[in-house]
Structure 1
């Protein structure tokens, strides 16, 4: 009986898997935002700063579950969670100083978060590029 090794994946196939993994994480984050949002006291969500951190938490919980299902290591999960929280935490300072409003905090936090997540994936491409 002879066995043959599977041919190596093409660059296009690896890129498709990489992109698919990114989309899966974003989808998990959206599910987390919708599913976990009702669990928080509404009085907390009236404050934009608390609401931003709650949203980051909801997204991170779901993304962590998705990454655990894919058997990612805890260091990679923590890096991805940091990429998701960092924009919101950094924007809290100008928000508290009155330089930006709650809407800007939410929008800018999300806009910055997605490229940071992609950067984390590219930085650790051995974990995601296969």
Structure 2
């Protein structure tokens, strides 16, 4: 009986980990695909000259990639929007630091990208049953 419970638990966490990996892949696909499209039509932004709009555009692109994949996988709009919010939330404390000259655009990008991953994980843990289920 313990083996069956342990197997089910392992399988559940395996699905959760796979889904986390899928979210990261979808995020990068959105970032690169929509970023290339923006550049192709002349809407590319410079992170050195315009870090705020460049970051917001990139966060939007990553959110779109994840949202498309989440909706394909049958996730609710609430969880989809929470996952997208994880792309934008790191900016709340960083933009004022940028404006005050405490950090530059490179630090903004690095810190916000590093912060996204635990925020995505937190959003997924908040709805553990949804993310650990079969879709």
- 1:95 is matched with which residue? 98
How many Å separate the matches in 1 of 2:29 and 2:59?
A: 12
Residues 34-73 of structure 1: matches in 2 within 5 Å? 34-40=32-38, 41-42=43-44, 44-45=45-46, 46-73=49-76
| Aligned-partner SS, 1:10 | helix
Equivalent residues, number: 123
C-alpha deviation, 1:88, in angstroms: 2.4
Structural RMSD (CA): 1.6
C-alpha deviation, 1:38, in angstroms: 2.3
- 2:10 is matched with which residue? 12
Matched, 1:120 2:123: yes
| Aligned-partner SS, 2:101 | coil
- 1:84 is matched with which residue? 87
| Structure 1: runs of 5 or more not aligned | 1-6
Q: CA offsets per residue over residues 42-86 of structure 1, 9 Å max, x none?
A: 3x3341121111110110000000000001000111111111210
4+ aligned runs moved over 2 Å, structure 1: none
**TM-score (ref. length: structure 2):** 0.84
Contact 1:88 1:106 in 2 (8 A): no
